[in-house]
Amino acid sequence: MAADIFSVEYQVKLCSLLVKDPHFLAVNHSLLKPEYFNNYHIKNIVRKVYEYYKEYSSAPSKDLLSTLMNELAEREKLDYEIQYVYKTRIEEVYENDIDSEPSIRKNVIIYCKKQEYVKFIEYCYQQLNQYDRDHEDKPNVDADVQLLQEIDSGFLDLMAKGFTKDLGTDFATAMRKLPKIIAEEKSVVRTPTSIPTLNQVMGGGYRNGAFYIWVAPPGVGKTTTLISECCAAIRQGKFVVYVTFEMSESEILIKFACNLLNVTEQEMSDTNRMGNIWVEFRERFAPQLQIKYYNEHEATANTIGSFINQLELINDKKCNLLAVDYADYVAPLKGIKDSMYQDKGNSYKDLKKLAMNQEIPVLSASQTKNEGFNVDVIEMHHLEGSSMKAHIVDGMFSINPKARTEIEIQGGIDPRMLIHIAKLRKRVGYGNTEIECRMDYAKSNLYENNWDQ
């Protein structure tokens, strides 16, 4: 049976969602105020969770939260019984299965609405009692009017918060807000891609808070493309974090240096030039790049997020773009279920939440199914593994090698690659969904090129 919406049980489960679901915490921490929790102990626990989130952008672990509450108890000299209640509540919070009752999650808005009603009724009751005490012997018309105005103002405040009507669209209000919405959309931070036509279609590049993937058959150049995109961001002064699950950090570093310094890997290995090349790279670009290697399925999206937070804390550098090579190797937060549909889909959900929580674009890549190896243009349904992946991402771009000529395949000329926009949410600009490019493997560079020229 579902918990009563005002019960302590319900409030404990709300707290469980806050500490166990990063996306729920990110979305609701400003809505779900601590004072909405009637239970004294849960209210203080939520306050500690929010304080920690404000500083570290994540929820504290069970042991850490217990330590924080013990410090609070010692500071306020609380007796043993109250400390025991805190310990018991924390145990309940972390033991709850947050997926067992989806209604808890769905009723958050209703819960906040009702708590706002309760707060306002208490306010009215206090005002009326105070009025009776102040004017018991001597009625005052001006005071009557002032009290009614205060109560009316309170109701208008509730309406402004959307708590006195259904949450459906109020078109009159929406039309008034439309210019603001458009202005906010135009002000969204975007990171330019390496392909001018793609920037035009995307309205400037990758959106903050969005998750994009590049798709191609094996060996076509997914890693090369991710590195090329990251280098475009670095040239714009962005700080890039590159997570690799296949190639070593040194191998990835060499590819970055080739692209950014416009040299081939063969030139990089020239002992006469190597020293000068690395000195130039270190001085010009090294401060804007951080590469991190993990074993396959060793790291979750939270692991990567914690690494990004540590970089910001230690080096005072805010990550502007994250590339994950590849997302299919990220371990899902819910644990391996031995189901490709669930595991890979959940990993993509986690990376999408990471993009939203960090307010940065996240790029990754994936292979195609076997039937996508020889098609002219790779579409969404050719994506390997879980179909959930295609639904979760904000953009999917396919790298199509079928346009390569025999001469290009044999080497000597950068091969043609047709970039196809298979999916794109929040499309802003206009342009072709198929873009002519070439792949320079020696310099780890994907660049736009008119094949007729």
Task: For residue 350, give every residue at least 6 positions away whose Cβ sits within 8 Å of its Cβ, in sequence order, or none.
Answer: 300, 301, 302, 330, 332, 333
Grouped pLDDT means (10 residues each) for the chain, 453 residues = 64 89 84 85 91 88 89 83 86 84 76 75 69 59 59 57 46 55 71 93 92 95 97 96 96 96 90 88 94 94 94 89 95 73 83 94 94 90 84 94 71 85 77 84 92 71
Of 44, 389, 6, 413, the residue nearest 212 (C-alpha): 389
Of 252, 241, 243, 233, the residue nearest 193 (C-alpha): 233
Quote the pLDDT of residue 135.
Answer: 59
Quote the pLDDT of residue 365.
Answer: 96
Query: Which pTM was predicted?
Result: 0.62
- Provide the terminal-to-terminal Cα distance of the chain, rounded to the nearest Å: 69
Q: Are strands 190-191 and 434-440 parallel, antiparallel or unpaired?
A: unpaired
d(CA 225, CA 200): 18
d(CA 168, CA 444): 49
Quote the pLDDT of residue 360.
Answer: 96
Q: Please tell me what DSSP assigns to residue 416.
A: E
Quote the pLDDT of residue 38.
Answer: 81
Tokens coding 258 = 């080739």
